[in-house]
Structure 1
C-alpha cells in the first residue's frame, strides 16, 4: 500500500466505522449497492476510487450510475479543460454502464452504521453519496456530494478527519451561522442545513448553490465587488498597522511557529514594514476559482472555513490572483502576481473602501507573511501542497515587496 491507499482505508474508517477494504471488482445484485461475498456472511457495499486506489480523487458508488455521473460533473466544475474532458469521458462510461468494468479498484465497506444512514436521518430522506478527496495537502478532507438515488443534488457535507480539518469544519459551521444573518448585496452564500458530529468528528451539511453552465469565473470587476462586500461584513475601520489588533495576532502566530527556519525572516519583515494607515475588514480566507462562480449580477461563494475578521482589506483579491497566476507555474506565476496584484489593489473599487496607493505593497507583504504563517502552521509542505515551500518562492517575493513598500511610504510624504 502507498500513502494514498492508506489514506483511503483510513478515510473509510471515518465514514463507515465498520471500515473498508481495498480489492478488485465484484458483482452487482441491486440498483443502489453492490454485494459481494463476505467471510461473516454479511453484504458489502462497493465504491470506485477514481481514477484508482493509488491516486484517488473521487469515490463513487459502484452500482448507482446516476449518482456517479452527477458526482463526476459536480466535482469537475471550475477545473481545467483537460480535467473537464477527462470527466466527460468518465461520465459517458458511467452512463453507459461500462465504468465498473474499466475501473477495477474497489473500496468495500462491510455492514454496520454508515455516514449515508446518518445523513438520511438528519435530512429525512434517502441519501446516496459521491465523495471528493482531492490532492494531498494538510487540510485535505472528504467533501460529500449528497444525492437522491435518482441523482438529484441535495447538498454537500464535510467531515473532519484530523485535528486541522476538524477545526476547519467547526469554523465553517460557525461562519455559515454568522453569514445567515448578513446582508451581502450581490453574493449568495450556502445555507447551513445540519451540523453535528459523526464518528466523534464534526459534521456539517450545507445546501448546494445553483452553479453550473450558467455561471463562470468572475471578471475583474465582479471579483473586486465581491471582495469589497465581504470586507464589509463588519464595519471597515482605518488604522495604522502598529495600532491594529491584526499585527499583534500575526506576530503571535509567527512566535507560535517556534524554531521553524522561516520564522525569523517573517518576524523581521513584519517589524520593518512601514507603519502606514490601512483599512481593516473581513476576508473569506480562500477565495479561489474553486470557491466562487459568477453571473453578470451575482456571485456564489462557498468554503467559508477560513472567514476572519479585522484583517487588511484586499487580502481576498490578492489570494484569488495568486492562485490564478501560478496556474502557469509557481515562479513565473509569482513574478506575474507581483504586478497584477498591485494593479488590483490600485483599482478605484479598492480605493473606494479606503485602500491608499502608499499602502499597496505593504498590504501585499502582510498577505504573504499571513499566508506563509498559515502554510507553516498547517505543515502544508510536509503534505505536498503546491505553494507550501515558502522558502523557495515566498520569502524572495517578500523581500522585494519590503523594498517596494518602503519606497511607496517615502514618496507619499
Structure 2
C-alpha cells in the first residue's frame, strides 16, 4: 500500500507507539510484535473513513456515539451533496451499521497511547476521533476529544514534522496571546493544555459552539471580523517603502534561493507604487473552515498563522479567494480579482484607513505573500490545490501590478 496508506501507518506510529497495523478484521499480529486479545480492554480498533487508501477521518469502532459525533464535527456541510453525505454517515454510525459497511481497520496494540496522555492532561476519560484532511505540506492530525457518551470536550493538535510542529507551537503562543486580548465580537478557543507527546508538540483547546446555529459570515460580518483581528495591534498607516513589512517580505523572497518563481515575485514587489497602507494583524488563514457566525458573534479558530504588521485587508482577500476557487482555480481567481477589490473598497475598509488608490497594491502584496508561503512550505510538492503559483498566481500578479500603477495615477490626478 502506498500514498495515503503510508501516511496513515506513519501517523499510527506517532499517535500509538505501542504498535498499529492496517488490515481487515482482527489482526494476526500488531507491528510491535504482540497480538491484542479479542475484546481486550486495552486494545483499540479504528475505522479509516472512507477507506485506508483515502483516509479523511479515523473513528473508534467500539464507540458509536463518539464515531457519529466525529463524523458530524468534521463533515463539510457547505453543499447539498456534502450535507447528504454527512447525514448518511452519521446515521450509519449512530445505528451501528457503519462497521459492517466499511471493511478497512486500523488495529492498535495494548500500551500507553495518545488517549492516555490526553485523559491525564484533562483529568477525565477521553475518546478520540481524528481528522487528517487532504494532502498538504501542513497536513497534521486534529483530534476531537469526546466523553464516552459522545460529548465534545475539545480539540488537540499534534505536530508530525518540522512544519506542522512549528505551526502547533505558533498556535499555542497565539492562543496565549489572544486570551489576554480584547476581541469584542469574536470568540476564540481557550488553551486547555500545552505539552508534548512522543517527542512532538501537542496542544489542546476547548470546542467552540459551532454547529447548526452558526453559518458562514455575511459580507459585513466578515469585514467586521477582519478589522477586529487587525486591531489586535494599533493600526499604523505608513508608506509602503517605509514599512517593516516590505523589508520582511523581501527577505522571505530572498530565502527562496534560486527557485524560478522568486525573481518575478521580487520584481513585482520592487515596482509596486509607494502608496500609504494601513498595517495591523491578520489571522493568516481565515476561511469558511475556520470561521462561523451567529447574528451577533463570530467564532474563529486555527490561529497557527497569526501575524502582525501586515497590510489591513489580507484576511478579507484570503477568505474571498478560497470562496471563489470553489468553482475552479482559474475561473475563481478571475472572479476574485473583481470581488476582492470590491471588498477592499467597502466603506468599512476605507474607514479603517485603506484608500481606494491602494486597493490593487494590497491585493498584489497579498498574492506575493501567499506565493512566498506556498513556496517556503513546499505546498506544490505535497499536492495542495492552490500551490502551483506559476499556473495562476503569477499571471494574476502581473495584471494587479499594472492595475496598481493605474490606480496611483488616478488618485494623483
TM-score normalised per structure 1: 0.96
Corresponding residue for residue 232 of structure 2: 233
Q: Any residues of structure 2 matched to 1:327-346 within 5 Å, and which? A: 327-346=326-345
In the aligned structure 2, how far is the partner of 1:25 from the partner of 1:231?
52
- Secondary structure, in 3 states, of the residue corresponding to 1:412? helix
Corresponding residue for residue 5 of structure 2: 5
Corresponding residue for residue 209 of structure 1: 208
Corresponding residue for residue 40 of structure 2: none
Corresponding residue for residue 112 of structure 2: 113
Residues 78-108 of structure 1: CA deviation (Å, up to 9, x unaligned): 5433222112111111111111111000011
Corresponding residue for residue 15 of structure 1: 15
Q: Any residues of structure 2 matched to 1:383-398 within 5 Å, and which? A: 383-398=382-397
Corresponding residue for residue 25 of structure 1: 25
Residues 188-244 of structure 1: CA deviation (Å, up to 9, x unaligned): 000000000100000000000001101000000000000000000000000011111
- Secondary structure, in 3 states, of the residue corresponding to 2:309? strand
- Secondary structure, in 3 states, of the residue corresponding to 2:22? strand
- Secondary structure, in 3 states, of the residue corresponding to 1:211? coil
- Secondary structure, in 3 states, of the residue corresponding to 2:45? strand
- Secondary structure, in 3 states, of the residue corresponding to 1:363? helix
Unpaired segments of 5 or more residues in structure 1? 27-34
Query: Number of matched residues?
Result: 405
Asked if the contact 1:254/1:373 (under 8 Å) is kept, the reply is: yes
Corresponding residue for residue 40 of structure 1: 34
Q: Displacement, 1:395?
A: 0.2
Corresponding residue for residue 134 of structure 1: 133
Asked if the contact 1:169/1:204 (under 8 Å) is kept, the reply is: yes
In the aligned structure 2, how far is the partner of 1:136 from the partner of 1:202?
21
Residues 254-284 of structure 1: CA deviation (Å, up to 9, x unaligned): 0000111100000000000001000000000
Corresponding residue for residue 147 of structure 2: 148
TM-score normalised per structure 2: 0.96
| Matching of residue 295 in structure 1 with residue 298 in structure 2 | no
- Secondary structure, in 3 states, of the residue corresponding to 2:247? helix
Aligned CA distance change for structure 1 residues 101 and 253 (closer, same or farther; 3 Å): same
In the aligned structure 1, how far is the partner of 2:320 from the partner of 2:128?
33
In the aligned structure 2, how far is the partner of 1:24 from the partner of 1:337?
46
Aligned CA distance change for structure 1 residues 337 and 41 (closer, same or farther; 3 Å): closer
Q: Displacement, 1:37?
A: 7.1
Q: Any residues of structure 2 matched to 1:344-383 within 5 Å, and which? A: 344-383=343-382
Corresponding residue for residue 51 of structure 1: 50
In the aligned structure 2, how far is the partner of 1:373 from the partner of 1:162?
20
In the aligned structure 1, how far is the partner of 2:83 from the partner of 2:18?
34
RMSD: 1.1
Corresponding residue for residue 181 of structure 1: 180
- Secondary structure, in 3 states, of the residue corresponding to 1:385? coil
Runs of 4+ in structure 1 off by over 6 angstroms are none
In the aligned structure 2, how far is the partner of 1:83 from the partner of 1:263?
38
Asked if the contact 1:128/1:148 (under 8 Å) is kept, the reply is: yes
Corresponding residue for residue 122 of structure 1: 121
Asked if the contact 1:293/1:301 (under 8 Å) is kept, the reply is: yes
Residues 127-172 of structure 1: CA deviation (Å, up to 9, x unaligned): 0000001000000000000000000000000000000000000000
Corresponding residue for residue 314 of structure 1: 313
Q: Displacement, 1:41?
A: 4.7
Residues 61-83 of structure 1: CA deviation (Å, up to 9, x unaligned): 01100000000000014543322
In the aligned structure 2, how far is the partner of 1:378 from the partner of 1:288?
19
In the aligned structure 1, how far is the partner of 2:28 from the partner of 2:231?
55
Aligned CA distance change for structure 1 residues 209 and 195 (closer, same or farther; 3 Å): same
- Secondary structure, in 3 states, of the residue corresponding to 1:297? coil
Q: Mean Cα displacement is larger for which, 377-386 or 36-45? A: 36-45
Q: Displacement, 1:323?
A: 0.2
| Matching of residue 172 in structure 1 with residue 166 in structure 2 | no
Unpaired segments of 5 or more residues in structure 2? 38-42
Corresponding residue for residue 30 of structure 1: none
Corresponding residue for residue 193 of structure 2: 194
